[in-house]
Structure 1
Amino acid sequence: MIRVLIADDQALVRTGLKMILENAGDMSVVGEAGDGGEAVDLALHLNPDVVLMDVRMPDMDGVAATRQLRAQVPHIHVLVLTTFDLDEYVYAALRAGASAFLLKDTLADDLLSAVRVVARGEAVVAPSATRRLLERYVGVGDEPPPPADLGRLTEREREVLGLVAKGMSNLEIAAALFLTEGTVKTHVSRILSKLELRDRVHAVVYAYERGVIRPAT
């Protein structure tokens, strides 16, 4: 059973999310918080597997709460929820250690799938929204010099990293490169290991920040 804590300042949103999660059969909502500070306190006490974290909350926002949680209990995974795909807090939340973010209008099945993925310690990247966030916050200035650590990657791994940064799934990358999905998964795992990145989300951020792929203008 996946134990989930919901953090959102709107009671109606919490109620809706709770209904979706508890109807899944393999999830249990162990607590609800109305702000970031309460979310941190409850997470430390209840030890959930996943925290669904709204970003815009009073007193302590979701970014600060995510940062505290990841510092104190790194085994608890944070899935950020936001109303707008260009929310100024979401990029900061990813940098703070969130494993995923989704829009609040995400379909119920996609939300449940994301919770399961995050609970396994993997990451969820909402492709188009992630891309727009990075386009906004990374910037479109001069090409940065290639970082030395990129030299650890093979040519194929660089290619895979670029496609990951475009928001493509392993299955889509496999189709594009005429590889099996298992081979792509192996490449992604090696990329994360070689570049010392925590998960797929941070691989996307890394690729944009280091100029592996440039945001669209």
Structure 2
Amino acid sequence: MQSIKLGIVDDSVFCRTLTKFQLLNINSVHFDFVIEAESILDFQAKASSADIPEVILLDIMMPDIDGISGIPMIRALYPNVHILMLSDVDNPAIVRKSLLAGANAFVKKGTKAVDMMNIIIDVINGSSYVSPELTKSLFFGIQQPPQSRRKLSKRELNIVHRLLEGFSLDNIAKTFEITVDKLWQLINVILKKLNIASSVRVPSV
């Protein structure tokens, strides 16, 4: 049986408990929560005495330091860890900023346990994940103004058009004969070219 070491950072005791309950009741994979924290500062304090997690489930809306701002702080401790944003926020701007900050995946709270298990395994194996609906929403509005489109190559424009049409990352990657991870790198390049996320702020709680 595959065993995966997880960390979870969420200021809500209820959300942490529910997520752990869901994953710990999966029989096909053994999930071991090696670190549990209620904030980024709490995570930093506990990191030195905990086993190194393979994946960290990270909430966005937290007091003091939000999850997105905490990504580089977590990577300073664990450079190779996979970070999965787990949030009830589905604002495209927040998704963009999470991915540009270095998150490997963005998953809504309430996702079925089996789906969460598969996403975690895919992320460990080198894939990135955002639901097709959220991926599509990343690029709403870039059709205007025209000068923004001129920043993109023909290939990049084709990728954007397919995303807007609702194609999955797997489908698009196969069309361009590249890996999903390579596609995700291209998407991040597109986002940076269009300066989409530069002025996004994470709301405080």
Percent identity between the two aligned chains: 27
Specify the alignment match of 1:181 in structure 2.
Answer: none
2:121 — aligned with what? 116
What is the match of residue 215 of structure 1?
Answer: none
With a CA cutoff of 8 Å and minimum separation of 6, indicate the structure with the bigger relative contact order.
Answer: 2
Q: How many Å separate the matches in 1 of 2:164 and 2:188?
A: 8
- Report the CA distance between 1:208 and its aligned residue: 4.8
Contact 1:5 1:31 in 2 (8 A): yes
1:50 aligns with 2:55: yes
The residue aligned with 1:14 is 16
Q: Which runs of 5+ in 2 are unaligned?
A: 195-205
Q: Distance in 1 between matches of 2:180 and 2:171?
A: 18
Aligned with 1:36 (options 34, 40, 53): 40
Q: CA deviation at 1:95?
A: 1.1
More helix by share: 1
Contact 1:21 1:28 in 2 (8 A): no
Report the TM-score, using the length of structure 2 for normalisation. 0.74
Note if 1:85 corresponds to 2:84.
Answer: no
The size of the alignment, in residue pairs, is 188
1:101, CA displacement in angstroms?
Answer: 0.3
Please give the per-residue CA displacement for 1:81-117, whole angstroms capped at 9, x wherever unaligned. Answer: 1112117543222111100101112222211111111
2 CA distance for matches of 1:11 and 1:17? 10
Structure 1 counterpart of 2:177: 187
Instruction: Check the 8 A contact 1:161/1:203 in 2, yes or no.
Output: no
Residue 104 of structure 2 is matched in structure 1 by 99
Mapped to 2, the partners of 1:88 and 1:191 lie a distance apart of 21
Match of 1:169 in 2: 168
**RMSD of aligned alpha carbons:** 3.2
* Secondary structure in structure 1 of the residue aligned to 2:177: helix
* 1:8–1:57 CA contact under 8 A, matched in 2: yes
Q: Secondary structure of 1:51's match?
A: strand
Q: How does 1:149-164 map to 2 (within 5 A)?
A: 150=153, 159=158, 163=162
Q: Which runs of 5+ in 1 are unaligned?
A: 175-183, 193-198, 212-217
Name the TM-score, length of structure 1 as normaliser: 0.71
Q: Whole-Å Cα distance in 1 between the matches of residues 46 and 32 of structure 2?
A: 15
